[in-house]
Amino acid sequence: MILTADQIRARVDADWPQILGVVEDRIALRPISAHGINGEHMRKSAEYVANKLREVGVDAKAVQARDKDGNPSAWEVIGSLEVNPNAPTVLLYAHHDVQPVPDEKEWDTAPFEATLKGDRLYGRGACDDAGGIAIHYGALRALGDQLGVNIKVFIEGEEEMGSASFIPFIEAHHDEFDSDVIIVADSGNWAPDVPSLTTSLRGNATCDVHVKVLGHPVHSGQYGGPVLDANTLASMLIAKMYDEKGELAIPGLMEGEPIGGLQRDLDEADMRAAAGVVDSFTLVGTGSLASRLWTKPSATVIGFDAHPVKDSFNVISPETTFRVSLRVAPQQDPHVAMDAMVDFFEKNAPFGAEVHVEPLEAGMGWAMNPDCEATQDALTSLKEAFGIDPVNKGEGGSIPFIPELQKIFPDAQVLVTGPEDPISNAHSPNESVSVSGLRKDVVAEALLLDKLGRA
Ligand SMILES: [Zn+2]
């Protein structure tokens, strides 16, 4: 059965109080995983979600994951709904835990009371990720017995705590989660009225670079001249990372263009304002701003052991360490990028100073398959639901579980959607979700499931 956007919209409209009610209920539940992932409040939160999913036909239950030492940890919600063994299977992901609220006074509304102001519903978790749960619930509710795909559900209970149980849990339930398409509703749109798929995430590789020039500190008046201090030598090494255009000059790092093509570049003035860039600074690098933020690598010195200015004295520092966080292009293996970075620092030791590089962690990025049928169906569904062409967007940072999920299920098409938009304030005070945007997201996911069902 092929449903039109209008038919789906009418169903979502009819059920809207119940669908938005899920977001309102979730805000009141205070499911803050930082207050104890295995706590009673998290069990209640998981039970609520399982109950809502059962309402729309999913055989769902709350189960407690085990951490790597076998101790009870996060409360997860899993479930399934089989309609036809020959139909494709879609795994729906969201998370039911939320960020804490360190200071309620920073909020204009009570953080745990859903408060509607204009088109926005305020409350902790409204967009991250109660909205994601509401999208899955609303789409299944709208399709009802017309659902043409088999559904599996995983609503995680510790996403905001770094998903420590995620991999062991997925591996323990491998067959239960095995699917053709995975919809991760934990990201967002270009704007409340402009839909997006999230197309890529950068990976990361972090290392410590130790630079040594002397066996012990010496007087800078006595030895300054032929001997450079470790801070200066380290700075020379750091300065070599970028060329005169501000392009990263570390050989062996991949760079790419926005996945699925660039429909709209980011606005430089908006980006400067959001980051508070000083007026005199010229943004560095070449290519679109989107490619520089999403698909090209970048290196940042995130730590540097130099003597503080206060109480400094006339000494040549013998050794120092700096830490580099490298953001890796979505398609590059972060271990390959790490090797390139280690090689670069070791080969560029200024004046033969001892340089020793210590690799720390490396995490995979992720890139959507822009050409597969599921992606095309998702873009068409977003267009029909919003009445406007979607604008693909990448992420400069990482959502670590997405590459993990892709690694465990390499053949599944992962689609990243969600109810956030640039003014949602996820993780911050005054978090909110656009009510009209959320409604269109529900319509879009229902249309997508419907299209996948007839593939
Ligand atoms: Zn989230």
Can you give the pLDDT at residue 400? 80
pLDDT tens sequence across 339-383: 999 999 999 999 999 999 999 999 999 999 999 999 999 999 999
- pLDDT over 80 (residue 455): no
| Cα 367 to chain centroid, rounded | 12
pLDDT tens sequence across 84-98: 999 999 999 999 999
Rg of the chain, C-alpha, whole Å: 25
Just list the catalytic residues.
97, 159
pLDDT tens sequence across 9-44: 999 999 999 999 999 999 999 999 999 999 999 999
- C-alpha of residue 63 to centroid of ligand 1, in Å: 20
| Cα 53 to chain centroid, rounded | 24
- pLDDT over 80 (residue 322): yes
d(CA 394, CA 218): 50
Mean pLDDT of 317-331: 97
What is the three-state SS of 274-318?
HHCCCCCCCCCCCCCHHHHHHCCCEEEEEEECCCCCCCCCCEECC
Mean pLDDT of 443-455: 94
Number of domains, the chain: 2
pLDDT tens sequence across 200-253: 999 999 999 999 999 999 999 999 999 999 999 999 999 999 999 999 999 999
pLDDT tens sequence across 97-138: 999 999 999 999 999 999 999 999 999 999 999 999 999 999
- Specify whether 348 is located in the same domain as 418: no
Furthest-apart CA pair in the chain: how many Å? 86
> What does the mean pLDDT of the chain come to?
96
d(CA 41, CA 125): 15
pLDDT tens sequence across 267-305: 999 999 989 999 999 999 999 999 999 999 999 999 999
Can you give the pLDDT at residue 176? 87
Between the two ends of the chain, the Cα-to-Cα distance in Å is 11
- Specify whether 312 is located in the same domain as 382: no
Can you give the pLDDT at residue 100? 96
**Cβ atoms of residues 294 and 396 within 8 Å:** yes
Question: What is residue 132's three-state secondary structure?
Answer: helix
What is the CATH classification number for the domain harbouring 444?
3.40.630.10
- Specify whether 307 is located in the same domain as 378: no
The confidence band for 4, taking pLDDT boundaries of 50, 70 and 90, is: confident
What is the CATH classification number for the domain harbouring 352?
3.30.70.360
Q: Which residues surround ligand 1, an ion (CB under 5 A)?
A: 128-129, 186
- pLDDT over 80 (residue 1): no
Give the DSSP H or E segment for 453: helix 435-453
Cβ-in-10-Å burial (0-12, 13-18, 19+) of 45 comes to buried
- Specify whether 167 is located in the same domain as 223: no
Encode burial over 64-93: b for 16+ CB neighbours within 10 A, e otherwise.
bbebeeeeebbbbbbbbbebeeebbbbbbb
Mean pLDDT of 148-174: 91
Encode burial over 148-183: b for 16+ CB neighbours within 10 A, e otherwise.
bbbbbbbbbbbbbbebebbbebbeebeeebebbbbb
Domain boundary among 340, 363, 386: 363
Can you give the pLDDT at residue 167? 85
- pLDDT over 80 (residue 2): no
Cβ-in-10-Å burial (0-12, 13-18, 19+) of 333 comes to middle
- C-alpha of residue 427 to centroid of ligand 1, in Å: 9
Can you give the pLDDT at residue 163? 85
Domain that holds residue 221: 203-255+297-363
C-alpha dihedral sign at 144, 145, 149, 153: positive
- Specify whether 176 is located in the same domain as 193: yes
Residue 274 falls inside a structural domain: no
- C-alpha of residue 400 to centroid of ligand 1, in Å: 11
**Cβ atoms of residues 209 and 301 within 8 Å:** no
